[in-house]
Amino acid sequence: MTNEAIPDLMAFDDAGLDEAFGGLERRARVEATFISNVADVEKFRLEWLGRKQGRLNEVSSRWLKAAPPEAKKALGLRFNALKEFVEGLLDAALGGGPSDSALKAEAIDITLPGSRRLTGAEHPITRTMNEIVAVFAALGYSVGVGPEVETDFYNFESMNFPHGHPARDTQDTLVVAGQERRPVRDRLLLRTHTSPVQMRTMELVPPPVRIVIPGKVHRNDAADATHSPIFHQVEGLCVDHNIAFSDLKGTLDHAMKALFGSAVKTRFFPSFFPFTEPSADVQISCIFCGGKGCRKCKQSGWIELLGCGMVDPAVFAFAAEKQPAYDARQISGFAFGMGVERIAMMKYGISEIGQFFAGDMRFLGQFA
């Protein structure tokens, strides 16, 4: 290879530039064919890309500086193309390895400050729901899930809320429009509780059944400090032979102690739910004052937390239409349900339910 001098550029029009740069490309291609070892690679690099005596440096100093202003742009474009062509020849001679310019373009400045990736955390509702589910999972309960858009049959009728029953008024919900021609039991609505999953499970699985059902529910309620038209529930169902009310009391007493501490006491009061008989409301001793009486428990020492009861035989009758094993004369069971937001508000000292859904990072950041 010979290091011939770069001739002066006599014409700066397109034809003259094409001929001049084309000649340099042909020369570089020919010289690259003589590369056979590492020493040849380095010699080629210095002859063409060397900072002091490289041919491209000479082209820059002689051609670019001598070019009239109107020709500098066209000459600069051809110069960059020639440089890329030479670097490509060098890359090929190196066996496809990156050139110095390529390495420089990809270099990372390790002196720059690193980018901080924020660590996420569970939403307080998700965290509380998982804590509740974990308590019952430890007792052998599996997790059941179902659709949020339900039929009237699964949400109401199969849960012993017949059409026109006054108990439906307490669970007024949002109904999908344009279903007037459908039978009432097939009309779609947003579920008011996760109880439909109980019926769907019993239709698929014969007893014994032990499931806990977390999920979102909807009711046509006005929003205030303690109520929201969207909230979350965890319900449970236990069905087997010889299940008694004492089993229900023992299960819920254990669950409340697991959630709020071993010092918590529970008590049951008669209540009414269409799908259980007998039914009960469950209260726990106030976790804020230890049962002595305070503003949060209205000086009573007790806080009402959930509802429960023994499964009504009418509910088993609906399940028996697809699973005859749910014969109320042979099996029994209990069910319970609790609001996740209410428990989360107690555990974390939150007074406004709307904060859970506002998306305010200042509020949510407290739980990270």
pLDDT digits (tens, 9 = 90+) for 196-205: 999 999 999 9
Assign residue 189 the CATH number of its domain: 3.30.930.10
The neighbour count for residue 77, using CB atoms within 10 Å, is 12
Tell me: do 149 and 58 sit in the same domain: no
Domain boundary among 73, 106, 139: 106
At 222 the pLDDT is: 83
- Report the C-alpha gap between 310 and 239 in whole angstroms: 10
At 329 the pLDDT is: 93
The neighbour count for residue 57, using CB atoms within 10 Å, is 15
Q: Angle at Cα 115 formed by Cα 111 and Cα 120, nearest 5°?
A: 155
Give the residue, 188 or 38, on which the prediction is more confident.
188
Tell me: do 128 and 70 sit in the same domain: no
At 4 the pLDDT is: 60
Is 326 domain-assigned?
Answer: yes
At 98 the pLDDT is: 54
Tell me: do 90 and 129 sit in the same domain: no
At 24 the pLDDT is: 87
Is 1 domain-assigned?
Answer: no
- Could you tell me where the beta strands, DSSP code E, fall in the chain? 142-143, 149-151, 188-190, 209-218, 230-240, 266-273, 276-285, 302-311, 332-339
Domain boundary among 106, 141, 166: 106
Convert the pLDDT of each residue in 271-309 to its tens digit: 999 999 999 999 999 988 888 888 888 889 999 999 999
Tell me: do 145 and 67 sit in the same domain: no
Tell me: do 223 and 361 sit in the same domain: yes
Burial of 153 (0-12, 13-18, 19+ CB in 10 A): middle
Residue 322 tokens, joined: 């697809």
Is 2 domain-assigned?
Answer: no
Left if phi > 0, otherwise alpha if psi is -120 to 50, otherwise beta: which for 349?
A: left
Q: Which residue has the tokens 């339900």?
A: 150
Which band of pLDDT confidence, cut at 50, 70 and 90, is reported for residue 29? confident
Closest CA to 146 of 82, 88, 211, 77: 211
- Could you tell me where the beta strands, DSSP code E, fall in 78-226? 142-143, 149-151, 188-190, 209-218
Domain count for the chain? 2
At 99 the pLDDT is: 53
Residue 1 has pLDDT above 60, yes or no: no
Is 274 domain-assigned?
Answer: yes
Residue 238 has pLDDT above 60, yes or no: yes
At 294 the pLDDT is: 87
245 to 254, 283, 315, 334: CA distances (angstroms)? 14, 16, 17, 7
Tell me: do 90 and 140 sit in the same domain: no
Closest CA to 129 of 190, 213, 198, 186: 213
Q: H or E element: which one contains 24?
A: helix 14-32
Q: Which residue has the tokens 């490509």?
A: 88
At 2 the pLDDT is: 44
Is 7 domain-assigned?
Answer: no
Is 333 domain-assigned?
Answer: yes
Parent domain of 310: 124-367
Domain boundary among 77, 106, 135: 106
Tell me: do 50 and 155 sit in the same domain: no
Is 225 domain-assigned?
Answer: yes
Residue 82 has pLDDT above 70, yes or no: yes
Residue 19 has pLDDT above 80, yes or no: yes
Closest CA to 334 of 279, 262, 266: 279
The answer to whether the bond into 278 is cis (omega within 30° of 0) is yes
Closest CA to 211 of 232, 236, 248, 240: 236
Tell me: do 168 and 26 sit in the same domain: no
Tell me: do 139 and 286 sit in the same domain: yes
Tell me: do 150 and 192 sit in the same domain: yes
Is 3 domain-assigned?
Answer: no
Convert the pLDDT of each residue in 306-343 to its tens digit: 999 999 999 999 999 999 999 999 999 999 999 999 99
- Among the listed ranges 119-123, 126-130, 164-168, 357-361, which one has the minimum average pLDDT value? 164-168
The neighbour count for residue 368, using CB atoms within 10 Å, is 10
- Report the C-alpha gap between 212 and 197 in whole angstroms: 10
Which band of pLDDT confidence, cut at 50, 70 and 90, is reported for residue 367? confident
At 151 the pLDDT is: 93
Tell me: do 57 and 162 sit in the same domain: no
Give the residue, 113 or 282, on which the prediction is more confident.
282
Tell me: do 342 and 202 sit in the same domain: yes
Q: Which residue has the tokens 């980018």?
A: 115
At 105 the pLDDT is: 64
